[in-house]
Amino acid sequence: MDNRKNILIVDDEPRFRELLCSRLQRRNYNIIEAEDGVRALEHAERARVDLALVDINLPGMDGIELLQRLKELDGRIEVVIVTGYSNIETAIAAMKHGAYDYLSKPYKLSELEAVVERALEKQRLTQCCAGLSAEVNHLRERSWSLPVGQSEPWLNLMQVVQKIASLGVPVSVLITGPSGAGKEVIARALHQLSNANCNPFVPINCSLLQENLLDSELFGHKKGSFTGAVADKEGLFYTARDGILFLDEIGELPESSQAKLLRVLETGEYRPVGGTKELHTNARIIAATNVDLEKAVAEGRFRQDLFYRLNVINIKVPSLSERRDDVPLLVEHFMERGKSLSALSLKFTAEAMARLMAYPWPGNTRELRNVVERIMVLNVGDLVEDAMVAAMLNQQQEQAAVANTAPFEEVIPLAELEHTYVKWAAEQLDGNLSALSRCLGISRSKVYRILKQIEASV
């Protein structure tokens, strides 16, 4: 994708536009020209505009009105008003409506270049602050941290991640690996280690939404485009502009959505559901999957052209069984993250840690976190013995066996999770359903159902 800044020059004098265009193109800016406000707005609706140089006296729509319309279209656009008449009232009006600066003709082109650079730097810092704010809020919600590991496979992986993150030109990345291995953690590391880490990181799991809702989430929708669309909605491609859109479980993307995603990757353009105008995004795509996409392509379940566009660079995340040396570090990491679950400072005996390291971990780091949090809630005393670990791992295997043989709605392991066990855990966590679901390894809704059954049986 072209990462140059887009500058829109709006002036009804062709020679003046030509002069500015020639000068700014030398500074590696991408220039869009318009002779009036109507055409300027058409350009701004079709493509991203970072900065607009707007003459105050335009045919039809004057510069102040165009300034307002551009700001309504995209508040990120910086606008510099240019006029042949020095007028303090006009300058005040321009600044009041959000103009970055005001220049009177004639002026030195070097002066204009300086204003352009300052306006774009202000835009960059504003976006950086917004991105950091969004990231801080996300981290508070999900307690995400940088990848943890010291094993050879993990260190090799992080070297690859650092190399990709340092690339000056953004490319599409496909992250593969088993469920629970940390594919989103790697995607976030790519974001954090890149020079675009101030911009948004926006994740979505493609398997969690129906096809029509997925399109609405990705591309947005217009009011009235379907039942329940009571207002316009900006999609995640808009939210992730200039940042990263992380598409988890990309192998579950419906066929029609695959075609739309391919178009965005090729042109940067998309259309909201029910919309008539093309919008532009500069979002970088990182996709992840735990399925064999090449096999899916061969079976006709995934578009070959989309696979090639996504798979410019492939990163394979090792399973936890391939990096057993990282288990002690991960245990400490998960205990630190979940320290609110226990007032004790737990330590594992050598035998208990050895058992954790020897376990195959079919659910990878997600399963390890689940076991550690259960132990934090249920362990008596500050020393975790081998017997406790053995009991937790046996329970994991029993639940996995039930999950592999029973229909989904029968997976709730009520036989293993005695009502007294669940009730006691709920009391320890002050009824926090989210924490309880993590500790028990079942969904929040199922925890709620079990507690309701306990209440009914009392």
**75 and 19 in a common domain:** yes
Rounded to 5 degrees, φ, ψ at 80 are: -115, 120
pLDDT tens track for 248-281: 999 988 888 899 999 999 988 888 888 888 888 8
Cα 84 to the center of its chain, rounded Å: 45
Residue 111 predicted with pLDDT over 90: no
With cut-offs at 50, 70 and 90, classify the pLDDT of residue 319. Answer: very high
Does 130 fall in a domain? no
Last residue of a domain, one of 303, 318, 333: 318
**296 and 167 in a common domain:** yes
pLDDT of residue 310: 94
Structure tokens at 16: 């003046």
Structure tokens at 381: 């005393």
Q: CB count, 10 Å around CB of 97?
A: 15
Amino acid identity of residue 381, one-letter, is G
Residues 6+ apart with CB under 8 A from 84: 57, 104, 105
Residues 6+ apart with CB under 8 A from 264: 237, 270, 281, 285
54 pairs with which residues across the strands?
10, 81
- Read off the pTM: 0.61
With cut-offs at 50, 70 and 90, classify the pLDDT of residue 399. Answer: low
**115 and 157 in a common domain:** no
**161 and 286 in a common domain:** yes
**390 and 280 in a common domain:** no
Residue 126 predicted with pLDDT over 90: no
With cut-offs at 50, 70 and 90, classify the pLDDT of residue 417. Answer: very low
Higher model confidence: residue 303 or residue 420? 303
pLDDT of residue 283: 87
Across residues 206-220, what is the average pLDDT? 82
Across residues 43-56, what is the average pLDDT? 90
Does 133 fall in a domain? no
3-state SS track over 110-168: HHHHHHHHHHHHHHHHHHHHHHHHHHHHHHHHHCCCCCCCCCHHHHHHHHHHHHHHCCC
Last residue of a domain, one of 287, 318, 349: 318
Rounded to 5 degrees, φ, ψ at 450 are: -65, -45
**270 and 199 in a common domain:** yes
**376 and 336 in a common domain:** yes
Higher model confidence: residue 387 or residue 92? 387
Domain count of the chain?
Answer: 3
With cut-offs at 50, 70 and 90, classify the pLDDT of residue 86. Answer: low
Does 139 fall in a domain? no
Q: What SS3 state is found at 294?
A: helix
With cut-offs at 50, 70 and 90, classify the pLDDT of residue 439. Answer: low
Using alpha carbons, select from 163, 206, 159, 203 the residue that is nearest to residue 185: 203
pLDDT of residue 142: 45
Across residues 310-320, what is the average pLDDT? 94
Higher model confidence: residue 253 or residue 430? 253
Q: How far is CA 99 from CA 70, 90, 139, 268, in A?
A: 10, 11, 34, 27
Residue 416 predicted with pLDDT over 80: no
Q: How far apart are CA 175 and CA 164, in angstroms?
A: 12
Q: How far is CA 225 from CA 212, 232, 261, 326, in A?
A: 11, 9, 20, 50
Residue 31 predicted with pLDDT over 60: yes
Structure tokens at 390: 């053995």
Q: How far apart are CA 289 and CA 286, in angstroms?
A: 11
**219 and 99 in a common domain:** no
**69 and 38 in a common domain:** yes
Lowest mean pLDDT among 107-116, 353-362, 393-402: 393-402
* Most confident segment among 92-101, 129-138, 403-412: 92-101
Does 137 fall in a domain? no
Does 129 fall in a domain? no
Residue 92 predicted with pLDDT over 70: yes
pLDDT of residue 452: 76
Does 135 fall in a domain? no
Q: How far apart are CA 8 and CA 80, in angstroms?
A: 10
Higher model confidence: residue 373 or residue 438? 373
**181 and 156 in a common domain:** yes
**What rounded mean pLDDT belongs to the chain?**
83
pLDDT tens track for 332-361: 999 988 888 877 889 999 999 999 999 999
Q: Is the peptide bond before 200 cis (omega within 30 degrees of 0)?
A: no
Q: How far apart are CA 102 and CA 86, in angstroms?
A: 9
Q: Tell me the CATH number at 172.
A: 3.40.50.300
**258 and 403 in a common domain:** no
Which value, to the nearest 10 degrees, does the dihedral of the CA atoms of residues 319, 321, 327, 331 take?
Answer: 70
Across residues 23-45, what is the average pLDDT? 91
Q: Which domain holds residue 214?
A: 146-318
Percentage of the chain exceeding pLDDT 90: 33
384 pairs with which residues across the strands?
348
With cut-offs at 50, 70 and 90, classify the pLDDT of residue 428. Answer: low
Q: CB count, 10 Å around CB of 429?
A: 17
Q: How far apart are CA 441 and CA 56, in angstroms?
A: 63
**305 and 340 in a common domain:** no
Structure tokens at 44: 């701004």
Does 300 fall in a domain? yes
pLDDT of residue 215: 85
Last residue of a domain, one of 318, 352, 373: 318
Q: Tell me the CATH number at 356.
A: 1.10.8.60
* Most confident segment among 121-125, 191-195, 454-458: 191-195
Q: In what order do the strands lie in the sheet with 78-83?
A: 30-34, 6-10, 51-55, 78-83, 101-104
Does 253 fall in a domain? yes
